[in-house]
A and B are shown apart, each in its own frame.
Chain A
Amino acid sequence: MDTVITLRGVEREYRMGRTKMTALRGVTAEFRRGEFTAIAGPSGSGKTTLLNLIGCIDKPDRGRVVVCGQDVTDTPLHRLAALRNRYFGFVFQSFNLIPDLSAYENVEFPVLLGDLPASERRARVEGLLERVGLKDHRRHRPHELSGGQRQRVAIARALVAQPLAVLADEPTANLDSRTGAEVLDLMHELNESAGVTFLFSTHDQQIVRKARRVLALHDGEVREDHSRAAVQVETTSAPAALLERSA
């Protein structure tokens, strides 16, 4: 598989008032096309920060970020809008759908920013809505959809521009366990059948088990990086207990 994202010695710090907090400490990792990777770890371990850096919506303080061979570390974020639109799809914990737009319009939005012909646009959006089981809900606004349906719309939106990778930040955290499992199954199925690359953060071991690769973070450091059929993750803060291989 091709390497699509490379992180080398990435560090990120935040300031909260006078306090300096280190979110990532020297993270080095590579992600390849077609992966289904869970970035696991307890709250505050740096999962979201790592996804933000991969998705070019944040910049590292030190280290390099390379996307498809292009070193984007020193490029200002507002100049990376086209790159984000082309290479990444995002799924958020709170869905983040545009409340003023219908399900169809939400899915369509990322490709409206490009120069895709209208017929192709329509075909992609309708195909994805059918794929996520929401063809009959195309005219519904987000507030008319359930949580699971909203996240399905968000997944369709993330996929519509045919990105290099879909970055999902705690995609099931706001869903009940059954709906969360359904959403994860959908992501898994899209990965298996269409080869879509998924990188998702989670602290739910049920979800971690379904990942083929698990990058375990603790206190901003990569503690484990396993490519296995099934992995179980401890969500407590104890570093030694963070990862437990189930195989």
Chain B
Amino acid sequence: MATFLRIAFRNVFRNTRRTALTVLVISFGAAALILSGGFFAYNFDGLRETTIRNGLGHLQVATARYVADGEERPMQHGLERYAELQEWLESRPHVRATAAQIDFVGLISNGDKSEAFLGSGVDPEREAAMGFTLNLKQGEPLVGADEALLGVGLAAALKARPGDVLTLMGTTSAGALNAVDVRVAGLYATGIKEFDERALKVSLATAQRLLDTDRVTKVIVKLDATRRTEEERSAMVAAGLGGRGGELRVRTWHDLATFYQQVVLLYDAIFLFLGVIIFILVVLSSSNTMMMSVFERVREIGTLMAFGTRRRQVLAIFVLEGVVLGVLGGLCGLAVSYGLIQAINHAGLTMPPPPSFSTALPLLVKLVPGLFAGVFVLIVAVLTGSAVLPAWRGARLRIVDALGHV
């Protein structure tokens, strides 16, 4: 076998130009897969963490009825005694912080014009402790009651600026109309234009006053690591959720992040499409190389068989050649990919905002060791597979014909 491997290895370098071209194609294919995969992985990571930091948290605890049925009236299935629940949750080792939140809708008016809003009643201090980020464009963050942060689109529609006083109108949990005056503390952007045109944040107390309730919609939980999400949800449920296991439900960020899931599905489809194109490209290139290699060595094959080399041994020589070429091309591909990832990540490039986004995103590629290993194995497998048919043809040659080949 060592001699066959030696023959295969040396033959790879017999026609250096052709080998270089094949290795170039393989490297290009490997780099395209690794870079696109790394780019997608970076975006998945970024989108996931952004989704979590923008208010989703790792876990959300709400009542089972709210999760199952929603609400006909504001806070109909709201969460009572949420402070006790937060205390229990925060006693768990992997929970970093919790924050109660109210989701509500209503109208906001500047006296001349009213706009519908999607509101959040938040606890600014706790959310800050959870590391939630807010892209504040003007003004100051929320500090007290009777203040509001407006999405930039909503503020533009109302021609509102920090310091202005606006009126929030909503329905109480009993079904009555209610109104609260708030001072605009600041304007913020979520990155999603449509949401910026409706987004509004007030303090938890302001929201509870508007809705006339002492409940909240949910308690958001921040963990010490995203990877512990599923494990911690199971542990919380197993631990009985502070004696309220039958009443409450825990959902993960992944359950709630429909946009994230759609993006992942889209990117996965793109990656598969790209992978298939590159697969075909590499197969065609390497098959051609192997076919030429067999064609050029017909007489050599005849000589080997005349001296007693068996068909399966001839097959092995050419398949090994495919393996050598695959390993060589794969390693070059990994090296090229690593270099390109470093270059791209240090170039400070940005991408134009994607659809529905209002801010540019940094162009970065994640170095995923598993992707490197997977692409390397794939390349070697493809090259080995590409060698089988030409090798089989070579091994089936008649000795006399092969020796007489010109």
Contacts and interface: CB of A to CB of B under 8 A. Distances in A.
Nearest to B7: A100
B399 A100 contact: no
Contacts of A81: 305, 308-311
B73 interface: no
Interface stretch (B45-53, B176-184, B296-304): B296-304
A39 B399 CA distance: 21
A113 B303 contact: no
Interface stretch (A104-112, A194-202, A220-228, A237-245): A104-112
Given A81-B310, A110-B308, 9 more contacts: A82-B308, A85-B307, A109-B3, A109-B307, A110-B307, A112-B3, A113-B313, A157-B307, A161-B308
A57 B400 contact: yes
Interface residues of B, number: 23
A78 B311 contact: yes
Contacts of A110: 307-308
Interface of A: 52, 55, 57-58, 77-78, 81-86, 89-90, 92, 94, 96, 98-101, 105, 108-110, 112-113, 157, 161
A87 B7 CA distance: 25
16 contacts: A57-B305, A57-B306, A58-B399, A81-B308, A81-B311, A82-B308, A84-B306, A92-B303, A94-B299, A96-B303, A96-B403, A99-B14, A100-B7, A109-B3, A113-B307, A113-B309
Given A78-B311, A110-B307, A112-B3, A57 B10 contact: no
B378 to A, nearest CB: 28
A77 B399 contact: yes
Contacts of A90: 303, 306-307
A82 B305 CA distance: 10
B307 A84 contact: yes
B213 interface: no
Given A77-B399, A113-B313, A100 B308 contact: no
Given A55-B306, A78-B310, A101 B6 contact: yes
B7 A98 contact: yes
A85 B313 CA distance: 14
B11 interface: yes
B308 A85 contact: yes
Contact of A92 (B305, B310, B311, B403): B403
Nearest to B12: A100
A79 B300 CA distance: 19
Contacts of B399: 57-58, 77
Contacts of A78: 310-311
A241 B327 CA distance: 62
Nearest to A167: B306
A231 B302 CA distance: 33
A57 B6 contact: no
A84 B306 CA distance: 7
Interface in B32-48: none
Contacts of B3: 101, 105, 108-109, 112
A84 B303 contact: no
Nearest to B9: A100
Contact of B299 (A55, A82, A96, A101): A96
